[in-house]
Structure 1
Amino acid sequence: MTTLQERIAKLMAETGKTVGDLAEIAGVSSSAVTQWKDGPTKSLKTAPAVKLAAATGFSAMWIATGVGPEKSGATPFDANAKPAPLGMRPYPVISHVQAGALKEIAVPYGPGEGFDVEYGDDDASQWSFFLEIEGDSMLPDFRPGDRVLIDPDVVPRPGDYVAARNTKQEATFKKYRVRGIDESGHEVFELVPLNNDYPVLRSDERHLVVIGTMIEHRRKFRRR
């Protein structure tokens, strides 16, 4: 995967745009673009990446994260997109469930890696996606085959359900519970399974990063 510095250099070389041009397009200061180009910034937020993509023809996801093709069109999940019903939006469905409490759901962000598409209201952020639940750590409320819409731009509140990942880019879907503030001023939180057979995970015991918050739950009903 390329670094942000390499991606910005490539973008500038192919489009002929200057630091000042990119700053004006993205709605940020020239010093911010200089940090993108020379470091230490490692990734971009959604808004400037989308603005740069619209003006340059590069993929917003590739600019922001380095994932996926460089030029995949206007939306980050074009490879999964189908014509959406009026007022609706296609979201990629991500799966790849892995064994173990912390490896329950792996979350690939790249376009084309979703195995299906779910349609829903166009009221979630640019990078939202569905996860398909496998495993029984969240029974009885979340069953294997259920799908949850995860929005990376929604900050979780205590009691929300979240997808979180560790440094190995492995993720788990659990209930979010705040436990306090550590000595460095960082929030300590727990990821709580609903099935008591699985352990509670704590952010002060292992490196956990919240990917996004669940904003919709679609249940799969089986018929025999």
Structure 2
Amino acid sequence: MSLAERVKQKRIELGLTQEQAAEKAGIRQQSWASIEDGKTKKPRNIVGISKALSCDPTWLMNGGTFMPIGDVNTRKVPLISYVQAGALAEKAPINAFDGNFEYIMTDVEMSDYTFALRIEGDSMEPDFKAGDIIIVDPELEPMPGEFVVAKNGNNEATFKKYRPTFTDMGGHQHFELVPLNDDYPTINSNERPLKIIGVMIEHRIYRRKR
């Protein structure tokens, strides 16, 4: 049985439509359909898909003995504010902040300093909307085109697409932070102090009220 067949089988067993399953997984219905059609062989959000189907991500990818989602190891990630994320640029530990955290559960492979952030504003629309949650790993070095959280010279963090520009004589990498919404300007590290805080490793889309 292939990945496509396992995904479709579990979805049907749970009585879910493709749209409902995709919403639970935090992906688009077209992406889900591509998996069931066999076009997508290695889905990026396999953990979210497995949670939507209440099964083990390893079983979905490779088959074998079925493992209920309750038997899968999960970790909780603190959901922090943009101000707290900005402070992380100075390598302040997450547990140094006052107050109680809300936590996000995930099975994604990550470092100990990984955190979650709720999207604010519309600068990253249409792909990222206000209320979506991203999980960010500060231990990763960004690759061109990846999405990052960075300190933008103020106290708060910003979430943008990473685009390296050039490396100077001192070996320092210069870069731009690019919004997906054309109504917002690109931020250049040559024009203001910028510091990468972490790289997005998971994106969760939540159902919005109509």
Alpha carbons 2:82, 2:157 under 8 Å: kept: no
1:204 aligns with 2:190: yes
The residue that corresponds to 1:144 in the other structure is: 130
Runs of at least 4 residues off by over 6 Å: none
Give the number of aligned pairs.
135
Equivalent residues in 2 for 1:64-213, closer than 5 Å: 86-96=72-82, 106=86, 110-111=94-95, 113=99, 115-121=101-107, 123-213=109-199
Structure number with higher helix proportion: 2
Alpha-carbon distance between aligned partners in 2 of 1:85 and 1:128, rounded to the nearest angstrom = 23
- 1:174: Cα distance to partner? 0.2
User: Structure 1 residues 176-185 or 198-207, which shifts more?
Assistant: 176-185
Given the two structures, how large is their TM-score scaled by the length of structure 2?
0.58
- 1:153: Cα distance to partner? 0.7
**Residue identity matched to 1:125:** S
Give 5+ residue unaligned stretches, structure 2: 1-69
C-alpha RMSD of matched pairs (Å): 2.5
The residue that corresponds to 2:207 in the other structure is: 221
Mark the CA change 1:156 to 1:121 in structure 2 (over 3 Å): closer, same or farther: same
**Residue identity matched to 2:94:** G
Higher RCO (Cα < 8 Å, 6 or more apart): 2
Alpha carbons 2:163, 2:175 under 8 Å: kept: yes
Alpha carbons 1:92, 1:114 under 8 Å: kept: no
Give 5+ residue unaligned stretches, structure 1: 1-83, 98-104
Alpha-carbon distance between aligned partners in 2 of 1:114 and 1:190, rounded to the nearest angstrom = 34
Mark the CA change 1:150 to 1:107 in structure 2 (over 3 Å): closer, same or farther: farther
Encode CA deviations 1:113-132: one digit per residue, 9 max, x unaligned.
56421100152100001000
Identical aligned pairs, as a percentage? 47
Mark the CA change 1:184 to 1:211 in structure 2 (over 3 Å): closer, same or farther: same
Alpha-carbon distance between aligned partners in 2 of 1:148 and 1:88, rounded to the nearest angstrom = 17
Alpha-carbon distance between aligned partners in 2 of 1:158 and 1:143, rounded to the nearest angstrom = 22
Alpha-carbon distance between aligned partners in 2 of 1:179 and 1:160, rounded to the nearest angstrom = 14
Mark the CA change 1:85 to 1:151 in structure 2 (over 3 Å): closer, same or farther: farther
- 1:221: Cα distance to partner? 1.7
Mark the CA change 1:200 to 1:167 in structure 2 (over 3 Å): closer, same or farther: closer
Given the two structures, how large is their TM-score scaled by the length of structure 1?
0.54
